[in-house]
């Protein structure tokens, strides 16, 4: 499994080594902006990658961070010296001083009716817990029934963990770029069309996240007076598509709330550090991990701490071959201790009297330890933690899809795309006409022709050719596209009903289409599989008889013609 890059650190962790003005890179103590940065207000958020190309779509939390930053009238709770990423809005933000927030808190407190609101606002202004430990949340109740082996001993041990992690992160930070966001404010994103959002998101996958991000922006602008909710609880409750992780990340990084976050990387780190071997996806383990994250988060620097934990999982405590020798929390890691003990036991050099901490040895009672049926695997080392959940295989579906192209004079060919419904899988994206199909060739052709005619009018059925297939795995569906092509002469009359478009090839490549559609189009173009960038999510197969010479061997003219094979495959010979 490839480690995920931490979602939030891209925004907040990296310092540039050279600004556009050629400033010398400065890494200062405590993560403070350099004097030059403070003076210029130069910001540190690299966002171009976020919106285009370089970022996995799951980083919706990162987008929210940027938008939270751009929200007008935001009273920040974390002083500039505690934050790495600054932007030009900081000056504006600081015009609403904390004193004003506190005055408002006092006023609200004097009113019985305002008590509830007071609690919310004051907690936003002062999120830190007084005793050096973050405020406990409901899951902390769980601690009473958890073996001490899976917990931190005391506040001192928690402090060592925090400081080790934060020091490690400080030494790693680099700064990489400037602010280049297409929609720099919530208002900008709220007023964009779904089509524009999909177009920009195209190729990143998880398309519902782009849509949800925009829905959230609209909600903030239209219903919340332009103010992003500022606590994890209100973020999760009020914004569509914001779950517990995203809410905690925004609240801690953008608003300084001392709230922990648990993503896949943090799951791995915490399971190893506290030797949690039970199924990490179970409710019990999940609760324990959130509880630990809440206990560990640094009340003074919650955003930095959360990013450091995620980054540790992404770069050091990786799924395979973790770099324990470079790990800042190795001395506190029970998985590492367990590996050392097992090695000593194997070499039979462990003294019988050695005091090695274990969890309920030989009882098999602990619900956070691996069940007795799953013994320690010497070959895995620390990667015995966390235990992988058995995943349900994705549902298999089949679709027949057709690239319908109308040839015109001077190579000005156009292809037909239709828009998917505004909800469900790939909502609002454009695709070639398709039908859900049974694997049988005859049924596929008939259904597909009917679909094509419903969009484009009468069509010559004999020209419909089966070209190959594309298998694409979405998060929960493995979809096999049987790819067909149909090329029309220029004079063939075609219709363009609402929900359909005829696009040139150039327009197709910049349209809001999914990666799967681009693969389908490549099959239509007849490129050899080796010319496609394959991924784990997509497989392209073209019948050997259709494989064409490399582009260098093709004539220019061939680029402007559809590449329909002359051979008749089994599917093509089926009854029209």
Q: Return the range that interacts with ligand SF4 (CB under 6 A); candidates 332-340, 397-405, 476-484, 563-571.
A: 332-340
DSSP state letter for 73: T
Helix (H) / strand (E) element for 250: namely helix 244-253
Burial class (CB in 10 A: 0-12, 13-18, 19+), 101: middle
Please choose which of ligand SF4, Zn ion, none residue 339 contacts, taking the beta carbon within 5 to 8 angstroms, the exact cut-off set by kind: none
Report CA-CA distances (Å) from 435 to 78, 113, 208, 443, 499. Answer: 53, 57, 22, 10, 16
Q: Which is nearer to ligand SF4, 326 or 365 (CB)?
A: 326
Q: Is 329 an interacting residue with respect to ligand SF4 (CB under 6 A)?
A: yes
Q: Is 359 an interacting residue with respect to Zn ion (CB under 5 A)?
A: yes
List 316, 459, 479, 540, residue binding ligand SF4 (CB under 6 A)? 316
Q: Is 418 an interacting residue with respect to ligand SF4 (CB under 6 A)?
A: no
* Nearest position to Zn ion, beta carbon: 366
Of 323, 317, 292, 293, which is closest to residue 306 (Cα–Cα)?
Answer: 293
CB of 161 to ligand SF4, least distance (A): 10
Burial class (CB in 10 A: 0-12, 13-18, 19+), 484: buried
Q: Is 75 an interacting residue with respect to Zn ion (CB under 5 A)?
A: no
Question: SS3 of 79, please?
Answer: coil
The alpha carbons of the chain give a radius of gyration, in whole angstroms, of: 28
Please choose which of Zn ion, ligand SF4, none residue 401 contacts, taking the beta carbon within 5 to 8 angstroms, the exact cut-off set by kind: none
Helix (H) / strand (E) element for 189: namely helix 186-191
| Partner residues linked to 485 by β-bridges | 403, 465
Please choose which of Zn ion, ligand SF4, none residue 470 contacts, taking the beta carbon within 5 to 8 angstroms, the exact cut-off set by kind: none
| Partner residues linked to 502 by β-bridges | 416
Q: Which is nearer to ligand SF4, 323 or 477 (CB)?
A: 323
Which tokens is 12 given? 């907040």
Which tokens is 384 given? 């015995």
List 382, 413, 456, 517, residue binding ligand SF4 (CB under 6 A)? 382
Q: Is 335 an interacting residue with respect to ligand SF4 (CB under 6 A)?
A: yes
Q: Is 322 an interacting residue with respect to ligand SF4 (CB under 6 A)?
A: yes
CB of 162 to Zn ion, least distance (A): 24
Of 484, 486, 487, 488, which is closest to residue 543 (Cα–Cα)?
Answer: 484
Q: Is 333 an interacting residue with respect to ligand SF4 (CB under 6 A)?
A: yes
Q: Is 258 an interacting residue with respect to ligand SF4 (CB under 6 A)?
A: no
| Partner residues linked to 473 by β-bridges | 478
Which tokens is 533 given? 């960038």
x-or-dash string of contact with Zn ion, 393-422, rule CB under 5 A: ------------------------------
CB of 334 to ligand SF4, least distance (A): 8
Q: Which is nearer to ligand SF4, 326 or 436 (CB)?
A: 326
List 366, 400, 523, 542, residue binding Zn ion (CB under 5 A)? 366
CB of 160 to ligand SF4, least distance (A): 13
Q: Is 359 an interacting residue with respect to ligand SF4 (CB under 6 A)?
A: no
# residues contacting ligand SF4 (CB under 6 A): 14
Which tokens is 6 given? 């931490």
Please choose which of ligand SF4, Zn ion, none residue 359 contacts, taking the beta carbon within 5 to 8 angstroms, the exact cut-off set by kind: Zn ion
Please choose which of Zn ion, ligand SF4, none residue 105 contacts, taking the beta carbon within 5 to 8 angstroms, the exact cut-off set by kind: none
CB of 412 to ligand SF4, least distance (A): 58
Question: SS3 of 316, please?
Answer: coil
Of 542, 532, 533, 518, which is closest to residue 426 (Cα–Cα)?
Answer: 518
Q: Which is nearer to ligand SF4, 186 or 275 (CB)?
A: 275
CB of 259 to ligand SF4, least distance (A): 22
- Kindly give, in sequence order, each residue whose CB lies less than 8 Å from that of residue 568, ignoring residues fewer than 6 positions away: none
DSSP state letter for 198: H
Q: Which is nearer to ligand SF4, 204 or 273 (CB)?
A: 273
**CA distance between the termini of the chain:** 46
Q: Please name the residue that has the structure tokens 């992780």.
A: 245
Q: Which is nearer to ligand SF4, 265 or 572 (CB)?
A: 265
CB of 218 to Zn ion, least distance (A): 46
Q: Which is nearer to ligand SF4, 212 or 336 (CB)?
A: 336
Spatial distance between the Cα atoms of 501 and 455, rounded to a whole number of angstroms: 10
Spatial distance between the Cα atoms of 76 and 426, rounded to a whole number of angstroms: 36
Q: Is 330 an interacting residue with respect to ligand SF4 (CB under 6 A)?
A: yes
Reading phi first (left if > 0) and then psi (alpha if -120 to 50, else beta), residue 214 is in alpha
Spatial distance between the Cα atoms of 224 and 221, rounded to a whole number of angstroms: 6
CB of 258 to ligand SF4, least distance (A): 22
Q: Which is nearer to ligand SF4, 370 or 435 (CB)?
A: 370
Spatial distance between the Cα atoms of 314 and 10, rounded to a whole number of angstroms: 12
Which tokens is 71 given? 């929200």
Q: Is 336 an interacting residue with respect to ligand SF4 (CB under 6 A)?
A: yes
CB of 385 to Zn ion, least distance (A): 11
Binders of Zn ion among 136-175, rule CB under 5 A? 147
* Residues lying near ligand SF4 in the complex (CB under 6 A): 269, 272-273, 316-317, 322, 324, 327, 329-330, 333, 335-336, 382
């Amino acid at each position: 499994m490839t480690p995920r890059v931490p979602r939030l650190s891209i925004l907040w962790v990296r310092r540039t080594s050279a600004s556009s003005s050629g400033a010398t890179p400065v890494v200062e103590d405590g993560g403070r902006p350099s004097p030059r940065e403070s003076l210029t207000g130069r910001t540190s958020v690299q966002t171009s990658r976020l919106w285009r190309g370089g970022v996995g779509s799951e980083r919706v939390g990162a987008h929210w961070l940027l938008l939270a930053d751009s929200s007008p009238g935001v009273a920040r709770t974390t002083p500039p010296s505690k934050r790495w990423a600054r932007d030009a809005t900081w000056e504006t933000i600081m015009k609403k001083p904390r004193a004003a927030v506190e005055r408002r808190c006092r006023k609200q407190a004097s009113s019985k009716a305002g008590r509830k609101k007071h609690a919310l606002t004051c907690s936003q202004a002062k999120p830190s817990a007084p005793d050096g430990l973050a405020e406990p949340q409901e899951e902390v109740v769980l601690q009473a029934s958890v073996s001490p082996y899976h917990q931190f001993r005391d506040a001192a041990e928690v402090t060592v963990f925090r400081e080790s992690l934060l020091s490690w992160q400080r030494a790693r930070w680099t700064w990489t770029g400037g602010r280049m966001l297409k929609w720099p404010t919530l208002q900008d994103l709220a007023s964009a069309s779904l089509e524009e959002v999909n177009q920009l998101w195209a190729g990143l996958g998880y398309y519902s996240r782009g849509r949800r991000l925009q829905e959230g922006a609209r909600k903030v602008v239209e219903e919340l007076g332009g103010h992003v909710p500022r606590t994890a609880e209100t973020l999760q409750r009020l914004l569509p598509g914001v779950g517990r992780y995203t809410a905690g990340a925004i609240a801690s990084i953008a608003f300084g709330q001392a709230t922990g976050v648990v993503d896949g990387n943090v799951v791995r780190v915490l399971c190893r550090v506290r030797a949690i071997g039970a199924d990490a996806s179970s409710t019990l383990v999940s609760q324990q991990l959130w509880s630990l994250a809440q206990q560990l988060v640094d009340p003074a620097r919650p955003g930095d701490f959360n990013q450091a934990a995620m980054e540790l999982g992404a770069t050091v405590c990786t799924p395979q071959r973790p770099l324990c020798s470079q790990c800042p929390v190795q001395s506190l890691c029970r998985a590492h201790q367990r590996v050392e003990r097992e090695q000593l036991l194997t070499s039979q050099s462990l003294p019988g009297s050695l005091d090695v901490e274990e969890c309920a040895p030989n009882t098999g009672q602990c619900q956070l330890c691996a069940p007795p049926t799953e013994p320690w695997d010497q070959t895995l080392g620390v990667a015995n933690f966390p235990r992988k959940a058995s995943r349900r295989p994705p549902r298999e579906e089949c679709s027949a899809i057709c690239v319908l192209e109308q040839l015109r004079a001077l190579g000005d060919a156009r292809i037909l795309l239709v828009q998917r419904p505004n909800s469900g899988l790939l909502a609002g994206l454009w695709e070639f006409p398709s039908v859900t199909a049974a694997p049988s060739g005859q049924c596929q052709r008939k259904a597909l022709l009917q679909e094509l005619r419903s969009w484009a009018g009468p069509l010559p059925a004999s020209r419909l050719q089966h070209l190959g297939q594309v298998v694409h795995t979405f998060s929960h569906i493995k979809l096999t596209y049987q790819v067909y092509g149909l090329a029309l002469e220029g004079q063939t009359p075609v219709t363009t009903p609402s929900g359909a478009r005829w696009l040139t090839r150039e327009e197709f490549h910049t349209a809001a289409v999914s990666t799967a559609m681009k693969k389908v189009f490549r099959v239509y173009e007849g490129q050899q599989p080796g010319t496609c960038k394959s991924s784990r999510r997509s497989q392209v197969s073209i019948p050997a008889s259709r494989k064409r010479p490399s582009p260098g061997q093709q004539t220019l003219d061939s680029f402007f013609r559809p590449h329909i094979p002359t051979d008749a495959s089994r599917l093509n010979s089926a009854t029209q």
